[in-house]
Amino acid sequence: MTIRRIVIVGGGTAGWMAAAALSRLKSDNPVDITLIESEQIGTVGVGEATIPPFVLFNRMLEIDEQELLSEVKGTFKLGIQFVNWGNRGDSYFHPFGNYGYEIDGVSFHNVWLKYRMAGDQRPLHNFSPETIAAQHRKFARTETMQHDDLPPINYAYHLDAGQYARFLRRYAEARGAVRIEGKVDNVRLHEETGFIASLTLDDGSEIAGDLFVDCSGFRGLLIEQALQTGYEDWSRWLPCDRAVALPCANSGPDLPYTRATAWSAGWQWRVPLQHRNGNGHVYCSLYMSDDEAHGILTDNLDGQVLAEPNFLRFTTGRRKKFWNKNVVALGLAAGFMEPLESTSIHLIHTGVSKLIALLSLDGVSKAQEDAFNRLTTKEYERIRDFLILHYNATERDDSPFWNYCRTMSIPDSLQEKIDLFRINGQIFREEDELFTETSWVAVMMGQGISPANFNPMTATLKEPALSIEVGEVEKSIRFLVNALPSHSDFVRQYCPAA
């Protein structure tokens, strides 16, 4: 079956990211891109913090950054501040970018560990430009600035999710994607193959397709309701299953980072946009009621509440297959691991990229399906492990929720990572996994996991050259950050809200 008609169901972030990326195919190919969405059903309406690869997704679409950020009222994000995670009162920063840089094959945090064990008191974050800039509420794009061996400051965006979907809708429609307003009421399967043949809308019209992209949100209209693919439940490791979202007023684009504050049965996000803060409380319904979660959230906002609370329910986990027959699921239809490290939009990005890389207009095959599923499963599992680390690596014993998280059994893959780090500070990243060495080190050390020793290769680096180089890194970062404007000033000048 040749692919001439690609039908996307859903017009949330996933649907429009898919439509925007796939609409680029149209210029040279005989393929129709149709997106069906229902205003009556609406979108989940949250999802406003991103990670650095998202910047590349928009660059790949040749979207102008200033225009985009003005429209989505965006701000810059240098990482996430975690409050109350290792213990109540603790705080640490998970930065984008790296700690220093690799020196003769030895990772920088190992060099730092060597000095630390010899009594050096300098914190590791002194060697992270993103952390120091975040502490001083500063930001600029530094690609063109002079700063010795340091790579440019690594960043992502905070953005208004609704505005972003509208921006991408314009982009996709300008490239020939067709939007249909309507509710899918029925799904017709080919009798022999079990492939999806067509969708019937509530006005009785029938939309036929060759390849379907399921972006219908948690319900998984095609991948689950029609194809009954099955779901792997991860709530024994990621037990939060509810969220309440509540935007509030702010006084401008202040902090260039997301804040995640842990409470007694979950955590609160704070995402600063230009015109408001996005806030929400993610919690576990076994240990906290909706009213209690809402109360904690409203008691801990920076400004006046701007909307009614939006209560959401979810089960953490993933579809057993992301690509099944002629359906590829993206976004919440594919799975959800909770928003702690802002990975959901990223998974839409990588899902679309894999789909485009594997796509053939000659039809779909088992090989494509298998490759997509194998790669995506690995990707989900690596991210899952990183998220579990935040819950499990804690000394908190002040609530039944934290007692559960602290003592739960964790996947072997995560246990091995922790064990290896404890031995000699090494982080083993596998198969191109998303989170960097710096990410793992930041969270492990930030939540109290320390190595017994540093990697012995560190001892091969010669003194005094090494300590001079380390001192230079620290100095260059200070110098660079001193030269940056405040985040607020940069946003006002570079991408003021349209």
3-class SS at 142? coil
Q: Is 354 a catalytic residue?
A: no
Query: Is residue 201 a known part of a binding site?
Result: no
Query: Is residue 77 a known part of a binding site?
Result: yes
Query: Is residue 491 a known part of a binding site?
Result: no
Closest approach of ligand FAD to the CB of residue 105, in Å: 34
Which lies closer to ligand FAD via its Cβ, residue 33 or residue 345? 345
Query: Is residue 184 a known part of a binding site?
Result: yes
Residue 497 C-alpha from the chain's centroid: 23
Closest approach of ligand FAD to the CB of residue 43, in Å: 3
Closest approach of ligand FAD to the CB of residue 134, in Å: 17
Closest approach of ligand FAD to the CB of residue 176, in Å: 20
Which lies closer to ligand FAD via its Cβ, residue 168 or residue 427? 168
d(CA 497, CA 324): 41
User: Is the Cα torsion angle 364, 368, 370, 373 positive or negative in sign?
Assistant: negative
Cis, peptide link before residue 464, omega less than 30° from 0 = yes
Residue type at 332?
L
Which lies closer to ligand FAD via its Cβ, residue 57 or residue 112? 57
User: Is the Cα torsion angle 124, 109, 376, 233 positive or negative in sign?
Assistant: negative
364 with 3: CB under 8 angstroms?
A: yes
Closest approach of ligand FAD to the CB of residue 201, in Å: 8
Closest approach of ligand FAD to the CB of residue 451, in Å: 31
Query: Is residue 13 a known part of a binding site?
Result: yes
Query: Is residue 14 a known part of a binding site?
Result: yes
Nearest residue to 393 via CA among 442, 433, 428, 429 = 442
In this structure, what is the dihedral angle of CA atoms 70, 73, 76, 77, given to the nearest 10 degrees? -150
Which lies closer to ligand FAD via its Cβ, residue 7 or residue 461? 7
Which lies closer to ligand FAD via its Cβ, residue 9 or residue 445? 9
Query: Is residue 11 a known part of a binding site?
Result: yes
Contacts of 230 (CB under 8 A, 6+ apart): 224, 319, 320, 321
13 with 165: CB under 8 angstroms?
A: yes
What are the backbone angles phi and psi of residue 300, rounded to the nearest 5°?
-125, 40
Which lies closer to ligand FAD via its Cβ, residue 129 or residue 339? 339
Binding site for ligand FAD (CB under 6 A): 9-15, 36-38, 41-44, 46-50, 161, 183-184, 215-217, 219, 221, 243, 245, 280, 312, 314, 331-333, 339, 342, 344-345
CA atoms within 13 A on the CB side of 436: 19
Query: Is residue 224 a known part of a binding site?
Result: no
Closest approach of ligand FAD to the CB of residue 42, in Å: 6
What H or E segment, with its residue span, contains residue 268? strand 266-272
d(CA 498, CA 496): 6
User: Is the Cα torsion angle 384, 385, 386, 387 positive or negative in sign?
Assistant: positive
Q: Residue 484 forms beta bridges with which residues?
A: none
Which lies closer to ligand FAD via its Cβ, residue 14 or residue 111? 14
Nearest residue to 278 via CA among 429, 158, 129 = 158
Active-site position among 26, 73, 77, 354: 77
d(CA 199, CA 341): 35
d(CA 106, CA 88): 34
Query: Is residue 200 a known part of a binding site?
Result: no
Q: Give the orientation angle of helix 366-392 with respect to helix 344-358, to 10 degrees.
A: 160
Q: Summarize the annotated binding site for FAD as residue ranges.
A: 11-14, 184, 332, 345
Q: Summarize the annotated binding site as residue ranges.
A: 11-14, 77, 184, 332, 341, 345
Q: Summarize the annotated binding site for 7-chloro-L-tryptophan as residue ranges.
A: 77
**Residues labelled as active-site residues:** 77
